[in-house]
Structure 1
Amino acid sequence: MHKQHHVAVIMDCWQEKITEIKVENKPAAFPAFLLDIDKLVGEGLTPIFGLEDVGGYGRALAQFLTDHGQVVKEVNPALSAAERKSHVTTHKSDSWDAECVARILVNKLHSLPDAMPDDLYWSIQQLVTRRNGLVKAQGALKNQLHIQLSYHYPSYKKFFSEIDGKTAIAFWERYPSPSNLEGLHIEQLTDFLLEASNNTCSTKKASDILRLVKADGQTAKEYQDTRDFLVRSIVRDITFKKQEMRKVENALRELMRLLEYKLDSMPGIDLVTASALIAEIGDIRRFPNANKLARFAGIAPVYIGSGGKGKERKSKQGNRALHALFYNLAVQQVQVAKGSKLPRNPVFHAYYQCKLKEGKTKGQALVCIMRRLVNIIYGMMKHKTAYELPIINNQERVS
């Protein structure tokens, strides 16, 4: 599968190559490709398509084939890569890659998952990817703003709790350097901060800022106008990224509503986490049971042994993005509030403490929680049910 064209190798069940077809990656070329396949298929035979990429460049072809009632299997790129390396002479070309995919299709036909290119799940995945890109870009912009402000306001970290908060952004844009504060009275700065913060900032905040600026000394340099422009440019970009992120989250919220999942009923799962889970899992019907989902996420242990000796070890395979989501969710389940000292999820907190008493390390105990979370998330998605926090008594919490 490629951006401009796809290469298909037609192989029979004895792994003999019949022919090779090159097709353009555009919907107008797909009907002719299907007709070419029909000419090669004998009477009473059913063609089966194996696609290495059903979510990227190959998604349009996968959608076309499934819409026309064809059997389409998804071939993991790791399998075809292993097939290439299994030969004595290792080489790489489009034809050889396609032949390796065909070999995997023949050898592992019954274990390969069906390709289900659903537009709804794909759209959610794209929105999650877009949001992750915005978050990464915003982090880079914050670092740039830190660098610029360190030149202008040496004590800038004491001004506001967050450098990219609503009030802070408004302040940096209006006063990118101390030179813009010259001749400004404390009453004027107070009025500005009150308006920017919706009346949450006080005169004390304005007084503290002016005092810190005076204590920092003279920071004006040559080409100060250019330096001010840099701060304002970064601030405008941060503001734009935040606006885009809100729009992306609104679009996610609308699509998530169509799925009717109630994942956000569990403590620690918000819109962002729920959409990320769905983006990685996709249609839950791909997995016949929770064990398959756990293996897909790399949470299920794997047995390592030889000569009759061995033991189960933590898996380092599977979908690492989904593994990270379950890990972060497990950490949140056992967290305790700073003020009240009450656990966010008493059931999982008690289960975590029980595993620690059994002699497990904190990491091992978290893996146990991750495995239970897989069962719960699987059930919630399959049956579209909400999470109900079980009630436990004090004796159970202590034990």
Structure 2
Amino acid sequence: MKLYVGIDVSSTDLYTCIMDQEGNTCAQFKVDNHLLGATFLRDQILLWANKLQPSEILIGMEATSVYSWHPAMFFHQQEELKSWNVKVFTINPKLIRKFKEAYTDLDKTDGIDAWIIADRLRFGRLKVTAVMQEQFIALQRLTRMRYHLVHQLTREKQYFLQHLFYKCSSFTQEVDSSVFGHAILELLLESFSLDEISQMDVQQLADFLRQKGRNRFADPECIAKSIQKAARSSYRLSKCVEDSIDLLLGLSIQSIRSLQAQIKELDKAITRHLEGIPNTLQTIPGIGPVYAAGILAEIGQIERFDNQAALAKYAGLTWSKHQSGRFQAEETSLIRSGNRYLRYYLVEAANSVQRHDASFRTYYRKKYEEVPKHQHKRALVLTARKLVRVIDALLRNGQIYTPRKGEDR
């Protein structure tokens, strides 16, 4: 006999349904989603376990990001429950939603959802969710924050380029230097007008670039001339609009530098934390501590996955199938589910690996040349899929990376 506990989790409450082997509701109640509430819920589970003497207890809840994390960890770690052979499941909300569609006469209420989760546990055919070890969870917090900051930095740079076009519309066409370099940003912070830049002595401008660029420009005079050329050929703004754009550029530069500094600090923390997690991912050319940490943080224990195909599906690196009779679609899209953080780090790592490893570069070029459109994106995703197979083997066997000559499959 088994005992089923369905928990509908929200930020404030845990709606609970305790169900027996026959589908009878033993108890339904609500507790607060905090330590005291979870402790009371644990005691209620123990009460019914002592009454019914089940062979095991299955506890299930929807995977609702941060809200379900604490309850799942709490019930997984409770010593009082381990003697009852407790298994904790965090279930994809889509499975619960589809299962509920079979019940046509049910309303949408939290109590009903807890009952549906308990009944879904009773139905079976669910994989036990392996709770990740704390070292992976701590690393995951760092790498996901980095993911967030990198995307925020990308958006901020896009805003900056828009403001720069207002300020100097010909800048990116004429100046052969990164607009995000220290010297160029310092020049824009000075809020010179285009006429002031145009009339400035070339040597004076070159000295400014040389000083702010810490002598990293190969030919600062050439850069200075191109900046003046861009200033002369750009549209002019009224004083009112120009002042606003100068303010926005200054604020945007501050944001960019702040985000870059935060990412740098996170990279240091990630590198330090990774030293305590044995792995061989960094033996793959092109994978450094940040990419290795991002991948490991999302995978956790490799034993959570049956094989490399299951890992690829978890990352969202598998393709939907479109087949009917003898028809087989030639162009299909990636599945829309999957762990976006793991997919991001795998794709970024694949792009780096194909630049450093000959076998991956050959594979990337082969896939790039197979199609006339979406070449880079398609080749990169396929290269990431190939990388999944390698990563799975390294983590599962604890071996180091050894490239195979002529491997192109």
TM-score by length of 1: 0.81
Question: Displacement, 1:193?
Answer: 1.0
Instruction: Report the counterpart of residue 375 of structure 1 in structure 2.
Output: 389
Question: Displacement, 1:194?
Answer: 1.1
How is 1:41-52 mapped onto 2 (pairs within 5 angstroms)? 41=49, 42=51, 44-45=53-54, 46-52=56-62
Question: Using a 3 Å threshold, how does the CA distance of structure 1 residues 126 and 177 change in structure 2: closer, same or farther?
Answer: farther
Q: Which one of 167, 187, 194 corresponds to residue 178 of structure 1?
A: 194
- The AA in structure 1 aligned to 2:275 is R
Instruction: Report the counterpart of residue 277 of structure 2 in structure 1.
Output: 259
**Distance in 1, Cα, partners of 2:128 & 2:329:** 26
Question: Displacement, 1:11?
Answer: 0.9
Question: Displacement, 1:268?
Answer: 4.3
Note if contact 2:19-2:25 (Cα within 8 Å) is conserved in structure 1: yes
Instruction: Report the counterpart of residue 340 of structure 1 in structure 2.
Output: none
Question: Using a 3 Å threshold, how does the CA distance of structure 1 residues 163 and 92 change in structure 2: closer, same or farther?
Answer: farther
**Distance in 2, Cα, partners of 1:115 & 1:52:** 14
Question: Using a 3 Å threshold, how does the CA distance of structure 1 residues 81 and 244 change in structure 2: closer, same or farther?
Answer: same
Instruction: Report the counterpart of residue 13 of structure 2 in structure 1.
Output: 5
CA-atom RMSD in angstroms: 3.8
TM-score by length of 2: 0.79
Question: Displacement, 1:263?
Answer: 1.5
Question: Displacement, 1:116?
Answer: 0.5
How is 1:153-168 mapped onto 2 (pairs within 5 angstroms)? 153-157=168-172, 158-168=174-184
1:83 aligns to what SS in structure 2?
A: helix
Question: Displacement, 1:21?
Answer: 2.5
How is 1:119-268 mapped onto 2 (pairs within 5 angstroms)? 119-157=134-172, 158-175=174-191, 177-178=193-194, 181=197, 184-201=200-217, 202-216=220-234, 218-222=236-240, 224-268=242-286
Question: Displacement, 1:302?
Answer: 8.2
Question: Displacement, 1:99?
Answer: 1.5
Uncovered stretches (5+) of structure 2, i.e. residues with no partner: 1-8
Note if contact 1:134-1:241 (Cα within 8 Å) is conserved in structure 2: yes
Instruction: Report the counterpart of residue 362 of structure 2 in structure 1.
Output: 349
Instruction: Report the counterpart of residue 316 of structure 1 in structure 2.
Output: 335
Question: Displacement, 1:240?
Answer: 0.6
How is 1:18-37 mapped onto 2 (pairs within 5 angstroms)? 18-37=26-45
Q: Which one of 51, 68, 78 corresponds to residue 58 of structure 1?
A: 68
Note if contact 1:3-1:25 (Cα within 8 Å) is conserved in structure 2: yes
Note if contact 1:75-1:105 (Cα within 8 Å) is conserved in structure 2: no
**Distance in 2, Cα, partners of 1:131 & 1:364:** 25
Question: Displacement, 1:350?
Answer: 6.1
- The AA in structure 1 aligned to 2:250 is R
Note if contact 1:54-1:117 (Cα within 8 Å) is conserved in structure 2: no
Question: Using a 3 Å threshold, how does the CA distance of structure 1 residues 301 and 181 change in structure 2: closer, same or farther?
Answer: closer
Question: Displacement, 1:266?
Answer: 1.8
2:239 aligns to what SS in structure 1?
A: coil
**Distance in 1, Cα, partners of 2:316 & 2:191:** 50
